[in-house]
Structure 1
Amino acid sequence: MTDCRTLSDAQLVDLLKAGDHHSFSEIYKRYNTLLYIYAYKKLQDTESAKDVIQEIYVHLWNSRSNLNIQTTLSGYLYKAVLNRVLNVFRHVAITQEYISSFKEVTDNAPAQTDYRIREKDLEALIEKEINNLPEKMREIFQLRRQEYLSNKEIADRLNISEHTVATQIKRALKTLRGKLGLFLFIYAFLTGMLK
């Protein structure tokens, strides 16, 4: 077994493309802290920075076989972080715009008359976002939400592990929170639209 600590970045990338776990671990050790600091300086939020870095490494591993690095490994990783950070900013701006327009509607509308219309619109929006989830994730989420099955019951029905069920439900909720914005997500959860 080669000691990956002595290899150059280019050599690590070659091994990574071949599916070598040790090279991936070494890339992680070399760049994780530096990339986290870079993401944190841009986002000023610990959890968001951690999420960005995790997404970078998941993408790096999942796309290893067709990885095409035109620059250096470090340049590639920093550019990937910057792109993810920009996506976070874009998403926050869209969410804020949506919340502002939602707040404007709720502030200006007669309370009782428009309440049911807004609730139906919100239900339709939630259903649309649930239907946009990846197929397996949607199936697991709907079994929990509509049939009130436990993780074990879902796992038994779909012949998958309970851990997979828990992970898929957690990812579904995180995706919906990202799509709906925190305000709408909390509202939907508290009113039972996501249960």
Structure 2
Amino acid sequence: MRNLHLAPVSTLSDHDLISLVRQGSEAAFKEVYLRYDSLLYIYAYKKLQNKAEAQDVVQEVFITLWNSRETFILKSTLSGFLYKSVLNKVFNIFKHQHIIQQYISSGEHFIETDSAETDYLVREKDIAALIEKEIAAMPPRMREIYELKRKEFLSTKEIAARLQISEMTVSTQMKRALKLLKLKLGVVIYIVYVLHG
């Protein structure tokens, strides 16, 4: 068995990093932080639209991970765990602010994040595979607009300028793309996707 302590932390897998974190390695924890801090912040900010709250949520997730390191057990992927941890904290904020209803409409029971179904759906790799399949099947221009919006985080105005089309066309195509995803993925997965994506 190789000695993980001898390898540069930047070369280690997430699984190996967590093994070292459980042993109290601050270097391994810092590497986990560097790998996921920015991604988790973007993810949280997209949900909350508040920079301070997004930063606080991500910081709390990492603090919790470090404080529980000795008993921490990774049941799925590290990325899946971290994203779900952020998502759960976002849910708590929404519940506190009484605005969760605008996200789940009439599907209140889908918000039970500890259920087996939702736990499966919010895992990054699982939902990403479903979504990517449907995105790939979109008409070329719709897919292009969708990916610029969702993956490059461009505004409607920026997309219109890049593609030399009207902002109205961009908005219309995005609405159609989301409607298509809802139809193809089904309501349960779509609700989770809106929260997750």
Q: Normalising by structure 2, what TM-score?
A: 0.47
Larger Rg belongs to? 1
Q: Normalising by structure 1, what TM-score?
A: 0.47
| Higher helix content, 1 or 2 | 1
